[in-house]
Structure 1
Amino acid sequence: MALFARTPRAPLEYSRTLWMRLWVGAVMVFLYAPLVVLIIFSFNDSKRNVVWRGFTTKYYEKAMGNDQLVEALLNSLTIAALATVASLVIGTFAAVMLWRFRFPLKGAIDGTISLPIIVPEICLGVAFLMFFAAVDWPTDLIWPFNLGAITIAHITFCFPFVTMVVRSRLATFNREQEEAAKDLGASEWAVFRDVLIPHIKPALVAGSLLSFTLSLDDFVITYFTSGPDTITFPVKVYSMVRFSVTPEVNAASTLLIILTVALTFVALKLQGVKAIAETH
């Protein structure tokens, strides 16, 4: 019987089997086929965008020449940049606080920080709408201050993700390094700057990418907190889709996909894919 016994496969060896490769390939096709179709039909020379009529790039020129669409994209990029910076600072300090210190109601605070991740976005959107209506938030400010309500909502939604990623990285930190730095005369700030920050740097990059992406393509929360003069790119695309899905909509969506992929590629190159992967 020992001659016919099969040696158990190691976890990584399953990726070499044919059925696993076919399954992974089917999942990849299911996830990315709609994006490929969207990009292909952005070059379709047809207004109805149902049947392929020929190749053209005029809808990209039309999308780039749409002042309202460009303004919406600029608003989205500005909000995403501001929300990413603020979420990175707040989320990092929150993660360090929850990791290092013990204080009353720590569990309650930890659970409260995690609420934006758990609560459906529609509930958050309604809550933000009621909050800004109650405080009588001004809507006639000049740019970019008129984006304040959306930015605050995005920060509240994004920084818990940064906290989650940074805390997972801090779990692998060797406290002996911190103690050794203090024995050598380093102050608390020097330890945080020269020992802790380099260790969590991959988590900071991953959290930044996550926050920027979540803020850039958010629709539900933005829809409830935006005003008539603060249209963002997802809201603008939604208003265009309500009439019909035209190649111009596909072209605008393709530009956003390219922008997101390019920013992710640059971040991965600067930090290193392996370092970011170790965060998880």
Structure 2
Amino acid sequence: MTRPNPRLRALFLGAGYAFLYVPILVLMVLSFNDSAMMTTWTGFSLRWYHELFADRALLEAARLSLIIAAFTATAAVVIGTWAGYVLARMGRFRGFALFVGLVSAPLVIPEVVLGISLLLMFVELSDLLGWEGSNGAFTIWVGHVILSMAYVSVIIQSRVRDLDRSLEEAALDLGASPVKVFFQIVLPLIAPALVSAWLLAFTLSLDDVVIASFLTGPGHTTLPLEVFSRVRLGLKPEINALATLFMLLVAVFVLIANRVQNRRGYSA
């Protein structure tokens, strides 16, 4: 069996990375362009960053999106961890098929269908309960939790199934309650999966457009909706500045996480 040529492999690898990251680098470079034209470079400038921080609507949309994403990720991890643990440890029970279908439904249902269904649900609830509040941050949060919870449950379920069950059984034999076993043995062991699930849920919420477009209300525009509405009228360099700041923020978090992980590895 012949091995692939190292140069050819490096060429394909470089082409793949270029396809993924060159557009992002171009966007970051254009965020420092002094010209309002996206395709014309006239000189280095921080003009669009100044305009970005003076744009109250865009900053408020970013603040709302970050808040909703944080609360969404937290709630999705709590619910998804419970659902994933039940699927991995409780075996088959009455209504198991229905439970699996309800948990995994957001994974296969188109977001348009999910958004319309949630909108109709909130309309019916408002008529039934006499709720006078309009759609807003709460309804967006509910929709994002339902979507993200399904992804979290898949991650937790796969991680729990890989655990050595003898540790839990030994703790139970020594007199520990199932709740104590879960919090003192299972949760510490699946902590990396919990962090990964939280970050994934945070990203899904921050990136969502479809569900938020159905569940949003006046004065509650998320960042993706604000950007999407502006892009339809023409690209503006301040959007490049916003994207650059978000990518730098993500890079900082990734570096911090890697440094913490490496320190824990050395200490172990």
Q: What's the TM-score, normalizing by structure 2? A: 0.89
Instruction: Flag structure 2 segments of 5+ consecutive residues without an equivalent.
Output: none
SS of aligned partner of 1:86: helix
Amino acid at match of 1:77: L
Matched residues in 1 for 2:121 and 2:257: separation?
35
CA RMSD of aligned residues (A): 2.3
Q: Which residue of 2 aligns with 1:178?
A: 168
Asked if the contact 1:213–1:260 (Cα under 8 Å) also holds between the matched residues in 2, the reply is: no
Instruction: Flag structure 1 segments of 5+ consecutive residues without an equivalent.
Output: 1-5, 276-280
Q: Which residue of 1 aligns with 2:26?
A: 37
Amino acid at match of 2:84: A
Structure 1 pair 120/235, CA: closer, same or farther in 2 (3 Å)? Answer: same
Counterpart selection for 1:73 from 44, 47, 62: 62
Is 1:46 matched with 2:35? yes
Matched residues in 2 for 1:155 and 1:267: separation?
25
Q: Which residue of 1 aligns with 2:219?
A: 229
Counterpart selection for 1:148 from 138, 141, 148: 138
The farther-off stretch of 165-174 and 115-124 is 115-124
Amino acid at match of 2:59: V
Amino acid at match of 2:218: P
Counterpart selection for 1:92 from 81, 106, 123: 81
Structure 1 pair 271/84, CA: closer, same or farther in 2 (3 Å)? Answer: farther
Asked if the contact 1:205–1:267 (Cα under 8 Å) also holds between the matched residues in 2, the reply is: no
Amino acid at match of 2:73: T
Structure 1 pair 215/261, CA: closer, same or farther in 2 (3 Å)? Answer: farther
SS of aligned partner of 1:211: helix
Q: Which residue of 2 aligns with 1:278?
A: none
Q: Which residue of 1 aligns with 2:205?
A: 215
Written as runs of structure 1 = structure 2, the 5 A alignment for 1:127-276 is 127-136=117-126, 138-139=132-133, 146-271=136-261
CA drift at 1:268: 4.4
**Partner deviation per Cα, 1:2-28 (whole Å, 9 max, x = no partner):** xxxx4x76xxxx6x8332322222121
Paired positions, count:
260
Amino acid at match of 1:232: T
SS of aligned partner of 1:173: coil
Matched residues in 2 for 1:131 and 1:34: separation?
40
**Partner deviation per Cα, 1:182-205 (whole Å, 9 max, x = no partner):** 222322222111211111111101
Structure 1 pair 107/24, CA: closer, same or farther in 2 (3 Å)? Answer: farther
CA drift at 1:83: 0.3
Matched residues in 1 for 2:254 and 2:165: separation?
31
Asked if the contact 1:202–1:271 (Cα under 8 Å) also holds between the matched residues in 2, the reply is: no
Amino acid at match of 2:212: T
